């Protein structure tokens, strides 16, 4: 990847995107479209179809028909594997195009987008393609006059609702295991990051996925997302996004067919720095990256920095220095460390949180403002707020922006108490040279993933899921497969 290639792709006009239903490009039933605004400069990039309830119903009917006639689920595992591996290859072959399209749509810095988006998505699809013929049923240890067998069957139609921060990576976390297990899927990308995901769906068809097995409908969550949630014909709903939407999806399920709902929600993850951390300079750099990359729009972002009082000032200065070295700007420039905030709405929300933090006694040590407004884009300086009380708003509510709240602590017990004092439980970290303390922290902090002497970067072999109001069920690893299968018992008298 070099800058010239990126600029050539940036210069290309983006043709309008439609839904993909039954393997075909389909406009909204009433012809309506939504403008796609690029957060890089606020310009209109293209349009997407503004889906209607009947578009969603049509997509679900297509998925149901493809499942019932077994055009995908009924294929031998080796045949399904071949298609998925080809899809992964196509994603890799088109990686730069996908990444640049996604960045123009959602503002993530290109370096991170290349790695976390097509790179990760191809790896995930390949992982589940390789796994699909290694998932066996079971024979139960019954008495000898019966045979108890446990079959693992696809659930049927999976509805997948995806957020805007990492559409390809998170999309692949759902699509990989769902398709590998033989399900048919209806996908709903986020309004402000549909393009690269829709392109990835096109590539699935190029790879030979039968028509109707993967349908994708764009548009507003409150319209097409709700229609998916309320459908009587979707068997499982998988979602990544905000807690508010997650709560609605559970209501939709209760009001319709009681479909299983798996939620990956937000976090307020604690990054805990003990004075005995092995390398404080490294910890400071990683802490800055752990909150400021992708403008803090990372579900596992280490948004609460808990620092042992004896090193507080020195450590926070080192984080501020690391943040100052991260260039904010045009996300398509290779030397940019922090790209654009996804939308103006999100940027204004971030600034609102900064104001509340100040009103509640926090001190702005760095950032706190919108920058580069003259570009027309949505940029925010990496922001560090010190003296943040554990019960204050920015300690308790997810900002989902480049805003780090710093709180000091005196003892390990106090650090644990503060770390566990939110409704969330997605990720966390502890930095220490003390092996026993490291293990104590893994046990004590209520999260889905706990890092020791690092932050982020856990690969596809391990699950990512939240506890508390960070969600239920996991993406990634073989454990994710459980969401996409039903267990069926065969009880046979011999
Ligand atoms: P969001 O909930 O607003 O939107 C997510 C998706 O839900 C979008 O596709 C949207 O169109 C759809 N949606 C919105 N309203 C809906 C409704 N009424 N019915 C059905 N669908 C609806 O969230 P967001 O702002 O796009 O994403 C940011 C949030 O996602 C943050 O809170 C972040 O922490 C969380 N997140 C979590 C993880 C994780 O793995 N746990 C990963 C990434 C992001």
Q: Is the pLDDT of residue 19 over 90?
A: yes
Q: Distance between CA 35 and CA 10 in Å, rounded?
A: 18
Q: Is the pLDDT of residue 1 over 90?
A: no
Q: Is the CB of 424 under 6 A from ligand 1?
A: no
Q: Is the CB of 116 under 6 A from ligand 1?
A: no
Report phi then psi at 169, rounded to 5.
Answer: -60, -50
Q: Is the pLDDT of residue 11 over 90?
A: yes
| Residue 299 appears among annotated catalytic residues | yes
pLDDT (mean) for 319-345: 97
Instruction: Supply the mean pLDDT for the chain.
Output: 98
**Could you tell me the two tokens for 124?**
């995930």
In terms of Cα–Cα distance, which of 388, 430, 398, 392 is closest to 267? 398
Say if residues 382 and 367 touch (Cβ distance below 8 Å). yes
Q: Which residue's CA is the nearest one to ligand 1's atom 10?
A: 221
Catalytic hit among 109, 264, 308, 412: 264
Q: What is the pLDDT of residue 190?
A: 98
Q: Which residue's CA is the nearest one to ligand 1's atom 16?
A: 221
Q: Is the pLDDT of residue 448 over 90?
A: yes
**pLDDT bracket for residue 264 (50, 70, 90):** very high
Q: What is the pLDDT of residue 120?
A: 96
pLDDT (mean) for 4-13: 97
pLDDT (mean) for 234-244: 97
Q: What is the pLDDT of residue 412?
A: 98
Domains in the chain: ranges and CATH: 3-265+471-491 (3.40.605.10), 270-459 (3.40.309.10)
Proportion of the chain in helix, strand, coil states, percent, rounded to 5: 45, 20, 35
pLDDT in tens, 396-436: 999 999 999 999 999 999 999 999 999 999 999 999 999 99
pLDDT (mean) for 223-248: 98
Q: Which residue's CA is the nearest one to ligand 1's atom 34?
A: 266
| Distance of CA 200 from the midpoint of ligand 1 (Å) | 19
Would you state the torsion angle of the CA atoms of residues 40, 41, 42, 45, taken in this order, to the nearest 10 degrees? -70
pLDDT in tens, 426-440: 999 999 999 999 999
pLDDT in tens, 123-178: 999 999 999 999 999 999 999 999 999 999 999 999 999 999 999 999 999 999 99
Of the chain, the end-to-end C-alpha distance in Å amounts to 63
Q: Is the pLDDT of residue 469 over 90?
A: yes
**Could you tell me the two tokens for 135?**
């998932």
Which ligand 1 atom is the nearest neighbour of the CA of 190? 9
Which ligand 1 atom is the nearest neighbour of the CA of 246? 2
E strand residue ranges, 3-97: 19-21, 24-26, 33-37, 44-49
Catalytic hit among 299, 308, 398, 412: 299
Q: What percent of the chain shows pLDDT beyond 90?
A: 100
Q: Is the pLDDT of residue 83 over 90?
A: yes
| Distance of CA 248 from the midpoint of ligand 1 (Å) | 11
- From 112, 163, 467, the mutation candidate for ligand 1 (largest count of ligand atoms within 8 A of CB) is 163
- Please name every residue paired with 272 in a beta bridge, in sequence order, or none if there are none: 306, 430
Q: Which residue's CA is the nearest one to ligand 1's atom 39?
A: 264
Q: Is the CB of 234 under 6 A from ligand 1?
A: no
Say if residue 323 is exposed, middle or buried (CB neighbours under 10 Å; 0-12, 13-18, 19+). Answer: buried
Q: What is the pLDDT of residue 119?
A: 94
Predicted model pTM: 0.97
| Distance of CA 371 from the midpoint of ligand 1 (Å) | 26
| Residue 360 appears among annotated catalytic residues | no
Q: Is the CB of 242 under 6 A from ligand 1?
A: yes
pLDDT in tens, 340-395: 999 999 999 999 999 999 999 999 999 999 999 999 999 999 999 999 999 999 99
Question: Which residue's entry shows tokens 């204004």?
Answer: 348
Which ligand 1 atom is the nearest neighbour of the CA of 188? 9
Q: Is the CB of 221 under 6 A from ligand 1?
A: yes
Would you state the torsion angle of the CA atoms of residues 364, 365, 368, 373, taken in this order, to the nearest 10 degrees? 150
């Amino acid at each position: 990847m070099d800058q010239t290639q990126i600029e050539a792709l940036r210069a290309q006009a983006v043709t309008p995107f439609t839904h993909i239903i039954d393997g075909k490009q389909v406009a909204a039933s009433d012809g309506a479209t939504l403008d796609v605004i690029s957060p890089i400069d606020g310009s209109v990039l293209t349009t997407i179809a503004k889906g209607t309830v009947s578009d969603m119903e049509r997509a679900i009917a297509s998925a149901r028909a493809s499942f019932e006639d077994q055009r995908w689920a009924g294929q031998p595992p080796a045949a399904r594997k071949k298609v998925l591996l080809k899809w992964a290859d196509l994603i890799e072959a088109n990686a730069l195009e996908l990444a640049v399209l996604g960045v123009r749509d959602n503002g993530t810095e290109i370096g991170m987008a290349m790695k976390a988006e097509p790179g990760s998505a191809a790896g995930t699809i390949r992982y589940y393609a390789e796994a699909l013929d290694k998932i066996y049923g079971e024979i139960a240890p019954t008495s000898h006059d019966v045979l108890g067998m446990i079959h693992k069957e696809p659930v049927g139609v999976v509805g997948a609702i995806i957020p805007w921060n990492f559409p390809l990576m998170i999309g692949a976390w759902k699509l990989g295991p769902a398709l590998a297990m033989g399900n048919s899927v209806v996908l709903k990308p986020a309004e402000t990051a549909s393009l690269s995901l829709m392109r990835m769906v096109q590539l699935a068809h190029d790879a030979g996925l039968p028509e109707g097995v993967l349908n994708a409908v764009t548009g507003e969550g409150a319209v097409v997302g709700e229609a998916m949630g309320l459908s009587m014909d979707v068997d499982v709903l998988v979602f990544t996004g905000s807690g508010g939407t997650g709560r609605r999806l559970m209501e939709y399920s209760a009001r319709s067919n009681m479909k299983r709902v798996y939620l990956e929600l937000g976090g307020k993850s604690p990054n805990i720095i003990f004075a005995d951390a092995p390398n404080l300079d490294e910890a400071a750099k990683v802490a800055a990256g752990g909150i400021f990359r992708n403008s803090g729009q990372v579900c596992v972002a280490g948004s609460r920095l808990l620092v042992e009082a004896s090193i507080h000032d020195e450590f926070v200065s080192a984080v501020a220095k690391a943040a100052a070295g991260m260039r904010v700007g045009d996300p398509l420039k290779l030397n940019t460390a922090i790209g654009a905030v996804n939308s103006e709405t999100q940027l204004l929300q971030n600034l609102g949180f900064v104001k509340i933090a100040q009103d509640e006694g926090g001190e702005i040590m760095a950032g706190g403002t919108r920058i580069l407004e003259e570009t027309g884009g949505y940029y925010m300086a990496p922001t560090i707020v010190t003296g943040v009380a554990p019960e204050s708003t920015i300690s308790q509510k997810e900002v989902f922006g480049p805003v780090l709240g710093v709180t000091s602590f005196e003892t390990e017990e106090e650090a644990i108490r503060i770390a566990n004092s939110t409704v969330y439980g997605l990720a966390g970290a502890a930095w220490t040279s003390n092996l026993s303390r490291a293990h104590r922290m893994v046990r004590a902090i209520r999260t889905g993933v706990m890092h020791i002497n690092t932050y982020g970067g856990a690969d596809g072999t391990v699950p990512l899921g939240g506890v508390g109001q960070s969600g239920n069920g996991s993406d990634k690893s073989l454990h994710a497969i459980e969401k996409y299968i039903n267990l069926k018992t065969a009880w046979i008298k011999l």
